[in-house]
Amino acid sequence: MTLTIPCPGTIGGPCHGGCEHDRCHDARALAAKRCCVCGQFLGWEVPIVDDDPARAAHAACVRRVQAEPKPEAAA
C-alpha cells in the first residue's frame, strides 16, 4: 500500500508532538523511520510504500529499484 503522511499541524496530519494520540504517535514514528532503499527518513508529504513495515521505503525508491533488474551488474 502506498500512503502519504501529512505534515504535522495540517489537516489530517498529526499533532506537532507531545500528544498521546495513538494515530499521531504512529504517524511520527513512521515518518522517522529510514527508507530501506536510500536510508533517508521517510518524512512527511512523500509517498511511502509500507506493505512490509520492516522494509518501509519511499515509493520513488521502490520504483527506482524495480527499474533496475540487476543492481549488482552496475558495478
Q: How far is the CB of 20 from Zn ion (least distance, A)?
A: 7
> Cβ distance 27 to 21 under 8 Å?
no
> CA quadruple 56, 39, 25, 2: dihedral positive or negative?
negative
Per-residue x/- mask for Zn ion, residues 35 to 74, rule CB under 5 A? x-xx-------------------x--x-------------
Question: Residues with Cβ < 8 Å from 68, sequence gap 6 or more?
Answer: 74
Binding residues among 22-41 for Zn ion as defined by CB under 5 A:
24, 35, 37-38
Site of interaction with Zn ion (CB under 5 A): 15, 19, 21, 24, 35, 37-38, 58, 61
